[in-house]
């Protein structure tokens, strides 16, 4: 009996979730396409490239929208049962609010499995491919596979690979003189990107050439003022949201003690880790929101309430995230706080139901 009911509840949740997530994805993808189309005509960037970028960034968009979508799907899915008095009949048959919470928790576990696949398997390669398409907006810049080439005036750079999405490796930098002859060559094993215009090179070999001599030296470290523009850097270094938790963790471990400001990366890592907790809290919160309003049959009202709660959660999460960066707090607690608050609210609300 319970397994049949669980499948029935899952079916309604799936229907509501598909509609909600689909509508939100269409809306936000349209906004992203509008932004991408502004770059059409720059370099070799075409309308097809803009569409490709929007499609490739879809997994990251799904992850961002899942918490609010899960809440709305829970509210609307259970709301459909309430509208046909099926939820009332289930309660009368002895299905408690805690049993409904367990059903929602199982659904949350399935969603968490999807999140893990998206975070670790789907999103990172899709975002890297989107970066390749974005390079077509830039002159004298190319990226293929893991390699990156760019030139600006008499400066050239080649990056053999990007580790963890943010650490350039196998670097070659060339400077030409006014006659387009090689004047300086720098090779480095890797670099820490301290800021957009400052790199710290490691394992450096430098050659300086003039008309008569070649000067050579080896350095363990050397600061280098990058000539890359912010747009070029955006195609070379993966945005924080495009990295998997594993890559972020390895990047943070690699740059520990290197003088690189990693507060944003730390905050993002712990937000990714806390996403399962947030999804669980959002799914469970739908139960008391619906059970507390069994007498209403307005789907619009339930959607408004669910959307309002989702907006409040988003604002709360963003506020906590910004305060963490501004006040330089340890990101672990603030990242887990929003999800923990939602989960606590859900459990307290269900406990108070008659």
Q: Which residues pair with 143 in a beta bridge?
A: 148
User: Do both 222 and 267 map to the same domain?
Assistant: no
User: Do both 114 and 59 map to the same domain?
Assistant: yes
User: Can you give the pLDDT at residue 38?
Assistant: 93
For residues 283-312, give the mean pLDDT.
Answer: 79
| Of 199, 226, 253, the domain-final residue | 226
pLDDT digits (tens, 9 = 90+) for 1-32: 467 777 888 888 888 889 999 999 999 999 99
Rounded to 10 deg, the angle between the 299-326 and 58-83 helix axes is: 140
Residue 233 lies in a domain: no
Lowest mean pLDDT among 127-131, 241-245, 291-295: 291-295
User: Can you give the pLDDT at residue 21?
Assistant: 92
User: Do both 221 and 272 map to the same domain?
Assistant: no
User: Do both 94 and 162 map to the same domain?
Assistant: no
User: Do both 190 and 99 map to the same domain?
Assistant: no
Residue 248 lies in a domain: no
User: Can you give the pLDDT at residue 1?
Assistant: 46
Residue in the block written with tokens 């960034």: 57
Element (H, E) at 12: helix 2-37
User: Do both 202 and 347 map to the same domain?
Assistant: no
SS3 assignment, position 182: strand
User: Do both 95 and 196 map to the same domain?
Assistant: no
Chain centroid offset of residue 80 CA? 32
Residue 49 lies in a domain: yes
Q: What is the DSSP letter of 238?
A: P
User: Do both 194 and 293 map to the same domain?
Assistant: no
At residue 165 the predicted structure's pLDDT band, cuts being 50, 70 and 90, is confident
pLDDT digits (tens, 9 = 90+) for 250-279: 988 888 877 777 888 888 899 899 999 999
Share of residues in the chain with pLDDT > 70 (%): 96
User: Do both 131 and 271 map to the same domain?
Assistant: yes
Residue 105 lies in a domain: yes
Tell me if 313 sits within 8 A of 275, measured CB to CB: no
Residue 34 lies in a domain: yes
User: Can you give the pLDDT at residue 262?
Assistant: 83
User: Can you give the pLDDT at residue 189?
Assistant: 94
User: Can you give the pLDDT at residue 2?
Assistant: 64
Tell me if 39 sits within 8 A of 45, measured CB to CB: yes
User: Do both 163 and 129 map to the same domain?
Assistant: no
- In the chain, how many H helices and how many E strands? 11, 7
User: Do both 9 and 91 map to the same domain?
Assistant: yes
Residue 149 lies in a domain: no
User: Can you give the pLDDT at residue 117?
Assistant: 94
Give the chain's mean pLDDT: 87
CA distance 81 to 90: 9
Cross-sheet strand order for the sheet of 155-163: 141-144, 147-152, 155-163, 167-176, 182-195, 198-209, 214-225
Q: How many domains does the chain fold into?
A: 2
Quote the radius of gyration of the chain (alpha carbons, Å). 26
For residues 319-342, give the mean pLDDT.
Answer: 87
- Give the domain range for residue 211: 154-226
CA distance 6 to 246: 34
Lowest mean pLDDT among 34-43, 85-94, 245-254: 85-94
User: Do both 271 and 173 map to the same domain?
Assistant: no
């Amino acid at each position: 009996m319970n397994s049949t009911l669980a499948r029935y509840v899952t079916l309604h949740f799936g229907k509501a979730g598909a509609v909600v997530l689909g509508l939100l994805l269409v809306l936000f993808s349209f906004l992203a396409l509008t932004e991408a189309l502004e770059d059409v005509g720059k370099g070799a960037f075409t309308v097809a490239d803009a569409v490709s970028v929007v499609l490739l960034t879809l997994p990251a968009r799904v992850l961002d929208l899942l918490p609010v979508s899960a809440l709305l799907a829970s509210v609307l899915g259970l709301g459909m049962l309430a509208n046909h008095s099926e939820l009332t009949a289930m309660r009368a048959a002895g299905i408690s609010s805690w049993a409904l919470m367990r059903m929602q928790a199982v659904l949350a576990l399935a969603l968490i499995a999807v999140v893990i696949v998206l975070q670790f398997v789907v999103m990172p390669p899709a975002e890297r491919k989107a970066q390749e398409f974005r390079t077509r907006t830039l002159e004298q810049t190319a990226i293929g596979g893991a390699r990156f080439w760019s030139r600006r005036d008499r400066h050239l750079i080649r990056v053999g690979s990007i580790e963890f999405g943010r650490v350039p490796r196998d670097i070659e930098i060339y400077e030409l003189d006014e006659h387009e002859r090689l004047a300086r060559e720098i090779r480095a094993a890797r670099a820490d990107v301290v800021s957009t215009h400052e790199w710290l090179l490691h394992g450096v070999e430098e050659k300086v050439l003039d008309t008569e001599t070649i000067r050579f030296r080896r350095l363990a470290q050397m600061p280098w003022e990058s000539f890359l523009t912010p747009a070029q850097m955006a195609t070379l270094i993966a945005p924080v949201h495009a990295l998997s938790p594993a890559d972020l963790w390895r990047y943070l471990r690699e740059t520990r003690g290197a003088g690189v400001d990693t507060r944003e990366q730390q905050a993002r890592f712990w937000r990714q880790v806390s996403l399962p907790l947030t999804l669980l809290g959002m799914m469970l919160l739908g139960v008391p929101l619906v059970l507390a309003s069994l007498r209403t049959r307005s789907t619009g009202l339930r959607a408004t309430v669910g959307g309002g709660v989702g907006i409040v959660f988003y604002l709360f999460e963003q506020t906590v995230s910004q305060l963490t960066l501004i006040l330089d707090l340890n990101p672990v607690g603030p990242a887990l706080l929003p999800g923990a608050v939602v989960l606590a609210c859900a459990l307290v609300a269900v406990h108070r139901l008659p």
